[in-house]
Structure 1
Amino acid sequence: MPIQADAVPRKLADPFDFGGGHMNPDRAVDPGLVYDLDAKEYNKFFNCTFGLVDGCGSYQLNLNLPTIVIPDLKNQVTVWRTVTNVGPMDATYQTVVEAPAGVVVSVEPSVISFTADGSRSTTFRMTFTAKQRVQGGYTFGSLTWFDQSAHSVRIPIAVRTVIQDFIADTS
């Protein structure tokens, strides 16, 4: 049977309702890539959330969290993330994207490489384009960076397409 969410009214569970799975301690010790964030960034995010500072429009979309949520995709949105290599010095990662339904996703660059004498961090861009102009609930996907050995770094993606801001989401 499908998993039910603990909600009123009852509904089928979606990725907002369930966790990421069982933890594998061996893989947690050697993740390969991390989405690093410092306390200053969290403070700015907190201040933006409560409207205490100006100029926060794109900041909340670009906070370097290991997840991407786009609550109001009308046409196209671009977000940026930075990954830091904490694995082997010489590593190359390729990307695999599972696009949310009704959304076209592109990643640039789609291959990232790290060398012993190069930077340990790199920034990539993801562009989300609505291919179905509908007012809807969230659809889900993922982005995975993988190398040719044991590293596979997956983050969830949640996108809600909208036509007009004033139409309420009832899902």
Structure 2
Amino acid sequence: MTTSYTSYKNGQSIKDVATGLPATPFDYGAGHVDPVAALDPGLVYDATVDDYLSFFCALNYTSSQIKLATRRVYTCSKRKTYRVEDLNYPSFAVPFDTSSGIGGGSNAPTTVQYKRTLTNVGSGTPATYKVSVLSSQSPSVKIVVEPEILSFKEVNEKKGYTVTFTASSKPSGTNSFAFLQWSDGKHNVTSPIAFSWT
């Protein structure tokens, strides 16, 4: 996912074949697979079976539903808070609730925060990655990544970061997109972001 591409070699965006218009992450997901780049991604978002079990708990799956999906007996802990946002996945689906602004309600900004962990799998160490946000379509969403630089000293080292999205109210059904990219100058580790106002 993180090494795929979303534009042709001539720089034009991938087209939606149904409309002929530039495609979005809703059309192509993370993008077209680049097998050569995938052999050396630089950084990866590791996720374990336990991460996915916690994700099912965040979706309010019952023990029997989890067993159907995983063939494993698992009960969600009542002492733990589960959040969909905590799955260490390379893309971001960011919902903003507009119900507070309906009928003369508040137009206060909505903030959503995600935490992610990256694992260095690049052969060149030490490695320093700097984050950038590509967001020409989403000026109404403020995106803050902390820290902005991740330095790895060895292979398989893990580093975490937090990304905070703050958006003003928009009409329900509005969608927009952005990309978060970590780069060390050789590797570009890119994550699609889809914003939805519900």
Instruction: Report the TM-score when normalising by structure 2.
Output: 0.67
| Alignment counterpart, residue 98 of structure 1, candidates 126, 134, 151 | 134
- Residue 158 (structure 1) aligns with: 194
- Residue 16 (structure 2) aligns with: 3
Alpha-carbon offset, residue 24 of structure 1: 2.5
Structure showing greater Rg:
2
Alpha-carbon offset, residue 78 of structure 1: 1.3
Instruction: Report the TM-score when normalising by structure 1.
Output: 0.77
CA RMSD in angstroms comes to 2.6
- Where structure 1 has 5 or more consecutive residues not aligned to the other structure, the ranges are 163-171
Question: Residue 81 in 1 paired to residue 105 in 2?
Answer: no
Kept in 2: contact 1:69–1:158 (CA 8 A): yes
Number of residue pairs matched?
152
CA distances 1:66-113 after superposition (whole Å, capped 9, x unpaired):
001112255111111110000122000011102334100011111110
- Partner Cα distance (1:159, 1:78) in 2: 13
The letter for the 1-side match of 2:165 is F
Aligned 1:12-91 pairs, distance under 5 A:
14-52=24-62, 53=76, 55-56=81-82, 59-73=83-97, 75-87=110-122, 88-91=124-127
- Where structure 2 has 5 or more consecutive residues not aligned to the other structure, the ranges are 1-14, 63-75, 98-108
Pick the structure with more helix per residue: 2
Kept in 2: contact 1:107–1:124 (CA 8 A): yes
Kept in 2: contact 1:101–1:139 (CA 8 A): no
Aligned with 1:31: secondary structure? coil
Alpha-carbon offset, residue 13 of structure 1: 5.0
Kept in 1: contact 2:30–2:192 (CA 8 A): no
Pick the structure with more strand per residue: 1
- Residue 107 (structure 1) aligns with: 145
Percent identity, please.
Answer: 36
CA distances 1:124-156 after superposition (whole Å, capped 9, x unpaired):
0111111x32224221001000002x2000000
